[in-house]
């Protein structure tokens, strides 16, 4: 893990408010996505969501900086486009597509494997040290995924195999974008500017996917339900803007291991909300597999937290955009 400046003192109330926002908002985005894609084509919805969020954030940056914003170079624009493609299209685009047929709670559990892939990529491509505890976490997490997929796809056939493939590929793409951002990407020093450019470039790729898949040609705006519009608005304004602002603030004011606890709290909230509001049924084997995945993720986060002092935060120039945000 990269090191950075000493954490600035902050009120414990503010820190926990920001962390609770990450817990609840990012945990609830899977429910919102499920509601949205019932009548809103996933790639079209994603393109709309991230184009609006990216534009709003870009305007906010310009206003907050009083128009004094460093113009990004070609390499910065290119790397923002790469990260945006991995996160917005490969990450959120595939989540939205997969949730057309997969319950939101299951989606939240599968996406929780993102830290597993971050650890694997870091070792394979950047020769990061992988403590034994992290290796155990990777093995445990993979066992959970195998059990979850095997039970739902091969045994009781309650899960759509194509949708599951999309959800498995999603955290792999998400982790690729986060890893590239942390190790190789040259991004604007302002994390909000970088994120706005990532969202805008990702929305362009999603729009291209909507065209290539035929979604846009078949799209009829009048068929989009009011619930889907509200869910998309929630994803745009709360999921992408409010929660990310809280993330950027708290990552500079709280120990990194504390902040990253959202990674194993979010799937719990996703399963709870899916059952409570959408009456999604998750069987005992799937719940057990989800628990195993969460345990594996917790072991990886614990192992990585021991590799860097908890009094350090991720430096601003290496903030992985919205790599954590759903």
Backbone angles phi and psi of 6, in degrees to 5: -65, 140
DSSP 220: -
**Residue 3, domain member (yes or no):** no
**Residue 5, domain member (yes or no):** no
**Residue 243, domain member (yes or no):** yes
Q: Average pLDDT by consecutive 10-residue portion of the chain (326 residues)?
A: 48 92 96 98 98 96 90 96 96 97 96 93 91 95 95 89 96 94 92 94 98 97 97 97 90 83 91 95 91 94 72 39 44
Residue 308: what pLDDT? 53
Residue 5: what pLDDT? 42
Burial of 173 from C-beta contacts in 10 A (0-12 / 13-18 / 19+): buried
**Residue 274, domain member (yes or no):** yes
pTM here?
0.90
**Residue 4, domain member (yes or no):** no
Residue 6: what pLDDT? 44
Question: 183: domain range?
Answer: 12-318
Please tell me the number of Cα atoms within 13 Å of 208 on its side-chain side.
Answer: 10
Provide the number of structural domains found in the chain.
Answer: 1
**Residue 164, domain member (yes or no):** yes
pLDDT digits (tens, 9 = 90+) for 73-94: 999 999 999 999 999 999 999 9
Question: How far, in Å, CA of 137 to CA of 205, rounded?
Answer: 33
Residue 38: what pLDDT? 97
Residue 90: what pLDDT? 96
Question: How far, in Å, CA of 314 to CA of 325, rounded?
Answer: 16
Residue 300: what pLDDT? 92
**Residue 149, domain member (yes or no):** yes
DSSP of 53-81: HHHHHHHHHHHHTTT--PPP-HHHHHHHH
**Residue 162, domain member (yes or no):** yes
Residue 162, number of CB atoms within 10 A of its CB = 14
DSSP 112: T
To 5 degrees, how large is the angle CA 225–CA 230–CA 235? 125
Residue 156: what pLDDT? 87
């Amino acid at each position: 893990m990269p090191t950075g400046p000493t954490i600035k003192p902050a009120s414990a109330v503010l820190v926990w408010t920001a962390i609770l926002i990450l817990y609840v908002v990012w945990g609830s985005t899977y429910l919102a996505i499920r509601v949205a894609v019932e009548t809103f084509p996933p790639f079209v919805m994603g393109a709309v969501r991230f184009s609006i969020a990216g534009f709003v954030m870009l305007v906010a940056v310009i206003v907050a900086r009083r128009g004094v914003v460093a113009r990004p170079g070609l390499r910065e624009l290119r790397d923002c486009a790469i990260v945006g493609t991995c996160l917005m299209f490969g990450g959120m685009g595939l989540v939205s597509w997969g949730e057309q047929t997969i319950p939101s709670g299951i989606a939240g559990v599968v996406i929780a494997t993102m830290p597993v892939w971050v650890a694997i990529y870091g070792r394979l491509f950047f020769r990061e040290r992988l403590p034994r505890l992290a290796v155990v976490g990777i093995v445990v997490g993979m066992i959970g995924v195998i059990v979850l997929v095997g039970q739902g796809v091969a045994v009781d056939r309650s899960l759509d195999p194509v949708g599951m493939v999309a959800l498995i590929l999603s955290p792999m793409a998400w982790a690729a974008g986060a890893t590239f951002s942390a190790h190789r990407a040259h991004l604007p020093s302002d994390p909000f500017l970088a994120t706005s450019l990532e969202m805008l470039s990702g929305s362009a790729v999603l729009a291209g996917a909507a065209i290539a898949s035929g979604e846009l040609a078949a799209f009829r705006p009048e068929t989009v339900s009011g619930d889907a519009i509200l869910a998309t608005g929630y994803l745009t304004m709360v999921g992408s803007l409010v929660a990310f602002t809280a993330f950027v603030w708290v990552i500079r004011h709280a120990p990194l291991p504390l902040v990253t606890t959202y990674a194993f709290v979010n799937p719990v909230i996703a399963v709870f909300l899916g059952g409570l509001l959408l009456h999604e049924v998750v069987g005992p084997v799937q719940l057990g597999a989800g628990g195993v995945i969460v345990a594996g993720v917790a072991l990886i986060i614990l192992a990585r937290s021991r590799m860097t002092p908890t009094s350090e935060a991720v430096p601003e120039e290496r903030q992985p955009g919205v790599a954590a945000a759903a």
